[in-house]
Amino acid sequence: MPENRDLVVTFIDSLEARDWMTWADLLHPEVVYEVPQTRERIRGRDRYLQFNQEYPGDWHLRLEVAIADEVNGVAWFRWELPEAEPADGMAFFTFAEGQIATVTDFWPEPYEPPPGREHLVERW
Amino acid sequence: MPENRDLVVTFIDSLEARDWMTWADLLHPEVVYEVPQTRERIRGRDRYLQFNQEYPGDWHLRLEVAIADEVNGVAWFRWELPEAEPADGMAFFTFAEGQIATVTDFWPEPYEPPPGREHLVERW
């Protein structure tokens, strides 16, 4: 659904721009934000806005992939900080009444591959 | 694009079923599989099939969300092992000639939240 994909793209772009008015307008007032890796949840647009405004560091977002249908959406983005390797992040979305109803973030970290698959794998 | 979403759903379902014939038929012969967290890459359907057939453990997949358009797709799934907490995994896809051309996996791990946001967050 193109309209929902636009919500996903604008979510990332307005966050990158710190365009808080545009960003907050995308969100349902009762939006629920979750981070399953830390088991954290933030309820409501006002708190979620404050969370992002208070988030420390000169972080930047670069969208890699945005996909959406009538029900679900996703953004895969690069998360960049001045003194760190860029990292991948993913945000999954659901939609309600033309706005974003839920956001679920994932922040995968680098790890060493387990042994036993070197015969199939190349590293970069 | 419903056809591409079907590829995503069948990818997870046939992997869960160890239905290797169905699973391999979804893949382009030149499929490229990548795990950015470990900087691992596997080239070609035969090696990628062998990688999955050799993967140890009584693992199970439960699809949470599948989305796809003409270009990109994603599966968010639960990864379950007998003696571990279920974990979230994501696979991003691209498509070529009605098959899966690339698969990029992410495996986020639990972590402790940084301090300073307790005034906005609830834990579960």
Q: Which residue has the tokens 């160890």?
A: B18
- Of A15-19, B2-6, B76-80, where does mean pLDDT reach its minimum? B2-6
Domain residue spans of chain B: 2-106
With contact defined as beta carbons under 8 Å apart, do B101 and B34 qualify?
no
Q: Which residues of A touch B31 (CB under 8 A)?
A: none
CB pairs A-B closer than 8 Å? 123
Task: Write the ipTM.
Answer: 0.95
pTM of the complete model: 0.96
What pLDDT does residue B75 have?
A: 98
Q: How confident is residue B105, by pLDDT bands cut at 50, 70 and 90?
A: very high
Q: How confident is residue A42, by pLDDT bands cut at 50, 70 and 90?
A: very high
Q: Please give the CATH topology (third level) of the domain spanning A2-106.
A: Nuclear Transport Factor 2; Chain: A, (3.10.450)
With contact defined as beta carbons under 8 Å apart, do A58 and A16 qualify?
no
User: Of B5, B41, B65, which has the smallest distance from its Cβ to A92's Cβ?
Assistant: B65
User: Of A50, A68, A90, which has the smallest distance from its Cβ to B106's Cβ?
Assistant: A90
What pLDDT does residue B12 have?
A: 98
Q: Is B69–A39 a contact, with Cβ atoms under 8 angstroms apart?
A: no
What pLDDT does residue B104 have?
A: 98
Q: How far apart are CA B104 and CA A10, in angstroms?
A: 24
With contact defined as beta carbons under 8 Å apart, do A34 and A22 qualify?
no
